[in-house]
Amino acid sequence: MSSVAAIRNACMLMVLVLCSISCFAHTQPALSDTTPRIIPVTTVKVDNMKVYTGTRVTKRQWLGSFNLILATLRLKINNYTPTAGEFNRDNTFKFTKPNDCTLQIGLPANRVTHTFDLAPARNNPATIYFIDIRNRTQSVDVVGSEIKITINYEQNGHEVLANCIDNIICGGGMWWADLEQLKTEIYLTPAIEAGKITYSKARVVVSGQIRSAGFNVVVGYLENFGNQGVFNMASKVFTDILNRPDIKRTFTEALNSNLGRLPVALPNPLRSITIDSNGDLVFNKPGTY
């Protein structure tokens, strides 16, 4: 290679190097965006808080609906037949008529009817029968954590027969009595079982006055035993009835079949039910299931 060519090549290489340096020197690094970012501020209010506290049905709402359902209640209590030995040949219980009590509740499209038995009570010296006792009015209220159902009854004819028998003091006798101002107060603790509204326990308080239809030893004894004593016995009988699986099932079926009368859509599935301090019903309240 001639010296002239070598010099030309060296000059071209120098030009390329200078151009590269110039380009690098004029390349600016990318600038970050320093514009202040505006973040909207939301004021925290109760209305903005979406914490689920359960589905609430106000006391006024559910009492109104339950009273409409209970207005359909038809109850008949009878365990007496006038024909001795017709159903029971045991002399002590010879006027017993089995399976002649009925409980019906619900609107026509969702009506539930149940027939059940109530054995006569033996309170020496008498066997005590209840005769065709029927409800007249009923109402629903709330007492603390319980639902209270008050039932008043018709007063037609004699409601009690005390058959004085198998005791030396009477030898035999048919003593009739009337129940005056008869009332049952039913206290139910609401519960959820198998996804349905029901009650976990029931207690019944029966009150009124028992009056003999004319003087007789047995009813006089019952009055002295206490009007309160007689109704304490009746309270236990009715409490046992309401806690029987078949009766509880009837109430549960009737109530759940008529829940469409509630003005609030209930959660599905139902897991719990509580009565708030103000009487509201709260379903699926966190921490209660």
Residue-wise pLDDT for 86-118, tens only, equals 999 999 999 999 999 999 988 788 888 999 999
> Would residue 244 count as lying in a domain?
yes
According to DSSP, residue 194 is labeled T
Instruction: Name residues whose C-beta falls within 8 Å of residue 196's C-beta, 6 or more positions apart in sequence.
Output: 252, 256, 270
> pLDDT at position 229, please?
67
56 — pLDDT class (breaks 50, 70, 90): very high
> pLDDT at position 84, please?
94
> Would residue 208 count as lying in a domain?
yes
CA dist 65 and 226 (Å) reads 38
Q: Which domain holds residue 249?
A: 59-275
Asked whether 208 and 231 are in contact (CB, 8 A), the reply is yes
What is the β-pairing status of strands 160-164 and 74-77? unpaired
> pLDDT at position 106, please?
83
> Would residue 26 count as lying in a domain?
no
> pLDDT at position 44, please?
47
Is the pLDDT reported for residue 282 higher than 50?
yes
**CA atoms within 13 A of residue 270's CA, in its CB half-sphere:** 20
> Would residue 39 count as lying in a domain?
no
> Would residue 18 count as lying in a domain?
no
pLDDT, mean of residues 44-70: 77
The amino acid occupying position 257 is: S
> Would residue 41 count as lying in a domain?
no
Is the pLDDT reported for residue 60 higher than 80?
yes
Tokens of 111: 């009506």
Q: How many domains does the chain have?
A: 1
> Would residue 280 count as lying in a domain?
no
Asked whether 184 and 204 are in contact (CB, 8 A), the reply is yes
> Would residue 210 count as lying in a domain?
yes
